[in-house]
């Protein structure tokens, strides 16, 4: 008999057992965390390219800043600042062998965050190997690689490094640095390769940066510092050559001007001379003449550089000869000079002012050719001498202008000056003349009898900062005090 089925009720399952072949319900396993996908090769390339672009941008900015420096000292300080930012250091120094054309010269050392006393302490570190007496490298740089190897040298932990001289550790502890990284300033082309000599490797100096804690630049930092120093070497070499050329021109110019002022009874002289960076053709002269007379001259020739200086020397020598022959007639002196200029220097023009002085009689005869009028300073007057208006020498077919006679009183002073003194003020000529007049009027009465004090006061007042702007003209101040 078949058993009857029970009725189905909602929510109650049937009591019929499950078939034997039915498996038990599976226990769920915990979820697995998926592994991050491997970076795509293109992402690595993009990161590397971004790093290269960043490095190149940094180098471009630093080299552009260095290229804007026109003076050797400014360039050395810029190299130190840029290198410190590249290798992550805070202080450093750079030393340069500033040899002249004859191979002589002395090292130039500049510090960043180091005073002169600190540099002196570093110089006391003993040599680790023999070097030539004219070596430009301080003792801290003795272990640089030989010439031809431009890799840097690191001391990552000076207090704990073995083999160092005890004096090295003592100086490092005294100055508060614990690590250093040095790079030679070396170029594959000699600084004088453009003079006709064959190119050769040359090391012109070295730079070292100091760390306050034990540290060492990374390989990337070393690479960037090496690239920057390679460019800096070329720039510094050019500035060294330019500095030597300017010094040679300045020396030549000084040799062509009076080495000392003459002593003539009845008058005392003083001169102040500031040479512009380009070396212009301004000049002055003070020449004793027969019968106790004195010739005073000041002028300038167009142009700058060695050519203008050589022309200035010829012009001054000629004026001295004419002054000896006919100095009592300043117009004749300048007329002869103008004729000589047109024959020997047809492409140049010149300004000149010549004064024939008789100190015993306190009489001065002045003739000028396009030059600034002298200024007379006395207890009762400060005024410009009214010379006749005339063109510079070489500008007209024939020069001639009347002379002016001055009778300075006892204790009065004549002030001759170059137009560079007025131009360097940066003002218009009217304002510059007014500034010079105010400076002369402001000379203390106690100092008016001292030509040296008069010259210093006028120069300091007209050019208060004493700066020599790039491309600025020469400044000459010639003072004659009549007793």
Q: Model confidence over 393-417: pLDDT tens digits?
A: 888 766 677 899 999 999 999 999 9
**Does the structure show a pLDDT above 90 at 195?**
no
More confident of the two residues 4 and 157 = 157
Q: Quick one: pLDDT band at residue 132, thresholds 50, 70, 90?
A: very low
Contacts of 68 (CB under 8 A, 6+ apart): none
Domain ranges for the chain, please list them: 55-244, 257-482
* pLDDT at residue 188, rounded to an integer: 61
Q: What is the DSSP code string of 144-186?
A: PPPTT----EEES-TTT-TT--HHHHHHHHHHT--EEEEEEEE
pLDDT average, residue stretch 201-211:
84
pLDDT band at 13 (very low <50, low <70, confident <90, very high): very low
**At residue 194, does pLDDT exceed 80?**
no
Residue 21: pLDDT band (50, 70, 90) is very low
- For the full predicted model, state whether its pTM sits above 0.85: no
The average confidence (pLDDT) of the chain is 81
Please say if the pLDDT value at position 191 is more than 50.
Answer: no
pLDDT tier at 308, thresholds 50, 70, 90: confident
| SS3 category, 481 | strand
Task: Assign residue 362 a region (left: φ > 0; alpha: ψ between -120 and 50; beta: otherwise).
Answer: left
Q: CA 116 to CA 336: how far, in whole Å?
A: 55
Residue 16 has pLDDT above 60, yes or no: no
Q: Tell me, what's the pLDDT at 11?
A: 41
For residue 377, what pLDDT band results from cuts at 50, 70 and 90? very high
| 163 or 295: which leads in pLDDT | 295
Q: Between 188 and 161, where is the model more confident?
A: 161
How does residue 46 score in pLDDT terms, banded at 50, 70 and 90? confident
CB 118, CB 174: distance < 8 Å: no
SS3 476: strand
pLDDT of residue 265: 93
Per-residue model confidence as pLDDT tens digits over 230-268: 899 999 999 988 888 878 777 777 778 888 899 999 999
Q: Which CATH architecture has domain 257-482?
A: 4-Layer Sandwich (3.60)
Tokens of 132: 């030539």
Q: Hey, what CATH topology would domain 55-244 get?
A: Beta-Lactamase (3.30.450)
Check if the beta carbon of residue 408 is closer than 8 Å to that of residue 414. Answer: yes
Closest alpha carbon to 471 in 418, 426, 427:
426
User: Strand ranges (DSSP E) for 345-469?
Assistant: 350-358, 363-369, 375-377, 382-384, 404-406, 413-417
Determine the length of the chain: 483
Determine the Cα angle at 390 with ends 387 and 393, to 5°: 125
Mean pLDDT of 101-115: 74
Helix-helix angle 330-344:306-326, to 10 degrees: 140
Give pLDDT, residue 34: 62
Of the pLDDT bands very low, low, confident and very high (cuts 50, 70, 90), residue 473 is confident
* Bridge partners, 393 (sequence order): 350
Residues 237, 187: contact at Cβ < 8 Å?
yes
Distance CA 192, CA 198 (A): 9
């Amino acid at each position: 008999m078949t058993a009857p089925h029970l009725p189905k009720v909602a929510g109650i399952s049937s009591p019929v057992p499950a078939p034997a072949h039915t498996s038990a319900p599976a226990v769920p396993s915990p979820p697995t965390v998926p592994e991050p996908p491997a970076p795509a090769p293109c992402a690595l390339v993009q990161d590397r390219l971004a790093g290269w672009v960043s490095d190149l941008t940094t180098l471009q900015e630093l080299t552009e800043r260095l290229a804007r420096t026109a003076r050797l000292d400014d360039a050395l300080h810029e190299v130190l600042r840029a290198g410190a930012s590249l290798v992550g250091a805070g202080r450093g120094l750079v030393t340069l062998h500033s040899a002249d054309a004859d191979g002589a010269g002395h090292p130039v050392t500049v510090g960043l965050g180091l005073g002169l006393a600190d540099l002196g302490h570093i110089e006391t570190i003993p040599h680790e190997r023999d070097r030539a007496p004219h070596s430009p490298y301080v003792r801290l740089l003795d272990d640089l690689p030989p010439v031809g190897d431009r890799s840097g040298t690191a001391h990552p932990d000076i207090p704990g490094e073995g083999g160092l001289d005890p004096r090295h550790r003592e100086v490092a502890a005294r100055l508060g640095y614990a690590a250093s990284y040095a790079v030679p300033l070396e170029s594959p082309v000699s600084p004088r390769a453009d003079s006709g000599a064959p190119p050769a490797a040359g090391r012109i100096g070295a730079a070292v940066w100091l760390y306050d804690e034990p540290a060492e630049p990374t390989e990337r930092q070393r690479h960037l510092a090496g690239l920057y120093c390679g460019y800096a070497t070329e720039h510094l070499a050019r500035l060294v050559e330019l500095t030597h050329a300017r010094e040679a021109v300045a020396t030549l110019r000084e040799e062509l001007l009076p080495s000392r002022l003459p002593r003539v009874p009845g008058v005392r002289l003083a001169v102040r001379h500031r040479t512009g960076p380009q070396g212009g053709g301004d000049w002055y002269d003070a020449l004793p003449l027969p019968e106790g007379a004195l010739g005073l001259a000041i002028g300038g020739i167009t142009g700058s550089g060695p050519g203008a200086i050589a022309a200035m020397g010829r012009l001054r020598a000629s004026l001295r000869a004419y002054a000896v022959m006919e100095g009592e007639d300043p117009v004749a002196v300048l007329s002869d000079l103008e004729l000589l200029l047109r024959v020997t220097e047809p492409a140049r023009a010149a300004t000149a002012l010549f004064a024939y002085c008789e100190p015993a009689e306190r009489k001065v005869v002045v003739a000028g050719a396009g030059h600034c009028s002298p200024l007379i300073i006395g207890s009762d007057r400060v005024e410009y001498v009214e010379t006749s208006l005339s063109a510079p020498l070489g500008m007209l077919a024939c020069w001639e202008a009347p002379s002016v006679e001055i009778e300075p009183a006892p204790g009065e002073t004549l002030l001759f000056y170059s137009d560079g003194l007025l131009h360097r003020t940066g003002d218009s000529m009217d304002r510059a003349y007014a500034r010079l007049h105010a400076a002369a009027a402001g000379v203390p009465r106690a100092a008016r009898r001292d030509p040296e004090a008069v010259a210093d006061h006028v120069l300091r007042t007209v050019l208060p900062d004493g700066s020599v702007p790039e491309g600025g003209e020469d400044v000459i101040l010639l003072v004659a005090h009549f007793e």
